[in-house]
Structure 1
Amino acid sequence: MEIRWIGPEGPVQIDSSELSAYVGRPDGVLWVHCDNGDEPGIDALTAWVRPRPEDLLDISSRTPVPKLHMYPDHHFSAINGLVRGTDGLLHFQPLKVFLTEHGLWTVFGPATRSLDRAEVNRDIDAVRGQVDRNLLRPTSAFDLLSTIRSVMLRGQEEIIAGGARRVADLESRVMVSDPLVAESVLQDLFELRHDLQIIRINAAQAYELYDGLLDTLEVDDRLLPVDTRLLGLLKQRYGHLKNSADLEREYLQEVLDLLQTRVSNELNRFVRKITAFGTIAVSWTVIAGVYGMNFVSMPELNWAYGYPAALVLMLVTGIVLWYLFRRQRWL
């Protein structure tokens, strides 16, 4: 458990034994951070915030669906970030937050095994560094929470920016590669679409939560108030993130359609070639079938040049058909 008091003189790290002296102080912001398996931290959270039992259960669970529960004395939220794991896939970065009037309690976890500890705490470490260097002086607990959410948002924006570069690269690969053996391109396309879909869903859900919170705060004055200006900015940024993911998904879908069009065109060309060669072979079969009927009244049966004449006829027929198909660009 890490405890920071951010007061007028700057940030101060305090010991857990001093926590009671800072809880509820109005002249600064108390920030307590711990992992979901930190029993002393969870005990302190339970003692000082008095969270609802269902919210405490959410601390130990991993869910892709964000949550926001509002009460008169605090707010509970579970809005995930996104981090690329050691397996190359995007995974949720679970952050549970208990927001009080003058304090912020953040709890990380549980995270998938594909995420190392450095990646899981990357965004929190960035904010901690700003606070410790006195580069960030939050005026309220919600101001500090907004900063953390903004850093998490920036990470997802960087993923989308990297995805945009990957889409452009995939488009160039689609144009130059053989579409009939482009399995690797197709695999990369689907992996990137999966990443963008996860970002889009996560951003859309967070946007809806903040939009609902703004509407609820307008009609219910019993809830713990927060800065609606900062809340509106967060909502706007999540909306922008959602729209950016949508635009990149549309671009990616166009690249996928281009690949499918090229595959379809190559297949049509192959079918046309097979049809043309098959037609030429059928013409030979027709000639051979006619002269293979062995009727007695067929004068060609007794003709000394009948066999070479049939071969010549087959050759001429094949050449004529080949020329016609070639002219139509089937061959």
Structure 2
Amino acid sequence: MLKMKNMTSKIFARKAGLPPGDTDKGETLFPDKSTSLRIIRYTAGEFNIEKKAGLETLNRDDFPGVIWIRVKGLGDLKILKEISRLAGLHKLHLEDLLTPHQRPKLELLPRGFFFTGLHYEIDQKSELCLGRTLSLFSNGHWLISFEREDDMLFDAIQERIEKGAGTIREKGLNYLFYALLDLLIDSYFLILSLLSEHLEALEENVMTSPGPDTLNKIYHFRKIILDLKKSLWSFREAWAKLQIFFSREDDLEMTLYRSDLYDHVVQSMDLVEGMREMISGLVELHMSVIGNRMNEIMKTLTIAGAIFIPLTFLAGLYGMNFEHMPELGWRFGYPAVLLLMSVLAGGLLLYFKKKRWF
């Protein structure tokens, strides 16, 4: 959580006082060490890939089929700016794709679109939610994906294209855009499934070992769920523009795919809403368990106090040491008082037990 706050402060500190779209600081906020290009070209019967393509390739690419350019790593600002110039990407869009945790959005362009979103993953060891920036840009001829160096999400689509699995090789650029976007949305189902498992384990912890650590975990997962909810709401807003984009292409099949994509977004939002309510329930359950434990402690102390009240009275009574107190001179006075105290304590314990107070 502290890392996210520090990253946010860096973003605002960097943007303060700069003109819109300014990226002339010479560095990015991403830890990626480099930026490389992977160019994938395909038609129904042809496929080729350049795994270490140069920028000069972009200037002379007249392939008649689909061209997908995977930009891996967002660490080299110079290369990113040159790619943007060659592809016709506006400097404001370049600024968006270089902004960590950028709010997901879709912008329609005269000959294509620009989309930016977040791919979430959970680190199983640290239980931190990692939001990786993903951006897609099309100028009508190419589709460019800007990905973090360590993000392997789109590898599955590349593998399908290489093997010719399904119908993706028979479709055009818009279908590739849909496939990438659909995979991104589907990744939310995976993270929601993992979150569900974590929340079930957390529910057991609340019952068995409530305390500050458990409460911190609850609020940690609450923040993750709120971040996912914000991201999915933004996807829902982008869907309205997606309607316009696919209707503009006058493609009935893509309209059906668009509806399927919307269904996935709505399902994810329903799951997130259910988990948000579950988190609220865990907070209430935690407070209830803590309250019950405190009540048990107070009940034990109250019972102990109630037992010692008459014993304290007897001890105080015979501790006054007045001259005319017959029991003080009696040979069996001390054991008699101890016996009386024991009978009183035992009687009170039996009474409390009968009342089921403990």
Structure 2 matches for 1:1-331, cutoff 5 A?
1-13=37-49, 17-20=56-59, 22=61, 28-34=65-71, 35-36=73-74, 37=76, 39-40=78-79, 42-48=81-87, 50-85=88-123, 87-109=126-148, 117-118=149-150, 120=151, 122-135=152-165, 136-137=168-169, 139-172=171-204, 174=206, 177=208, 179=209, 189-211=218-240, 213-214=241-242, 227-255=254-282, 257-295=284-322, 298=325, 300-301=327-328, 303=330, 305-331=332-358
Deviations 1:29-61 (A, max 9, x none): 22122133274464233233x222211222322
- Counterpart of 2:19 in structure 1 is none
CA 1:217/1:159 → structure 2, altered by over 3 Å: closer, same or farther? closer
Moved more, 94-103 or 183-192: 183-192
Query: How many pairs are equivalent?
Result: 312
Q: RMSD of the alignment, in Å?
A: 3.3
Q: CA deviation at 1:160?
A: 1.7
Q: Which amino acid in the other structure matches residue 150 of structure 1?
A: D
Q: Is the 8 A contact 1:64 1:92 kept in 2?
A: no
Q: CA deviation at 1:259?
A: 4.4
Whole-angstrom distance in 1 between the partners of 2:140 and 2:104: 22
Whole-angstrom distance in 1 between the partners of 2:245 and 2:174: 14
CA 1:246/1:291 → structure 2, altered by over 3 Å: closer, same or farther? same
Whole-angstrom distance in 2 between the partners of 1:59 and 1:67: 11
Whole-angstrom distance in 2 between the partners of 1:40 and 1:258: 52
Whole-angstrom distance in 2 between the partners of 1:257 and 1:251: 10
Whole-angstrom distance in 2 between the partners of 1:6 and 1:92: 30
Q: CA deviation at 1:205?
A: 2.2
Task: Give the TM-score, by structure 2 length.
Answer: 0.73
CA 1:143/1:231 → structure 2, altered by over 3 Å: closer, same or farther? same
Moved more, 192-201 or 298-307: 298-307
Whole-angstrom distance in 2 between the partners of 1:225 and 1:303: 111
CA 1:217/1:150 → structure 2, altered by over 3 Å: closer, same or farther? closer
Q: CA deviation at 1:189?
A: 4.5
Deviations 1:99-147 (A, max 9, x none): 23343111124xxxxxxx44x1x11222111112222326232321221
Deviations 1:169-216 (A, max 9, x none): 4445555x3x36x666556545444443433332222222223x2576
Q: Which amino acid in the other structure matches residue 205 of structure 1?
A: S
Task: Give the TM-score, by structure 1 length.
Answer: 0.78
Q: CA deviation at 1:232?
A: 3.2
Q: Is the 8 A contact 1:95 1:108 kept in 2?
A: yes
Q: Is the 8 A contact 1:10 1:134 kept in 2?
A: no
Whole-angstrom distance in 2 between the partners of 1:51 and 1:247: 39
Whole-angstrom distance in 1 between the partners of 2:329 and 2:59: 119
CA 1:133/1:70 → structure 2, altered by over 3 Å: closer, same or farther? same
Q: Is the 8 A contact 1:73 1:224 kept in 2?
A: no
Moved more, 289-298 or 310-319: 289-298
Q: Which amino acid in the other structure matches residue 115 of structure 2?
A: S
Gaps of 5+ in 2: 1-36
Gaps of 5+ in 1: 110-116
- Counterpart of 1:112 in structure 2 is none
Q: Is the 8 A contact 2:243 2:258 kept in 1?
A: no
Moved more, 310-319 or 166-175: 166-175
Moved more, 64-73 or 235-244: 64-73
Whole-angstrom distance in 1 between the partners of 2:290 and 2:321: 48
Q: Which amino acid in the other structure matches residue 71 of structure 1?
A: L
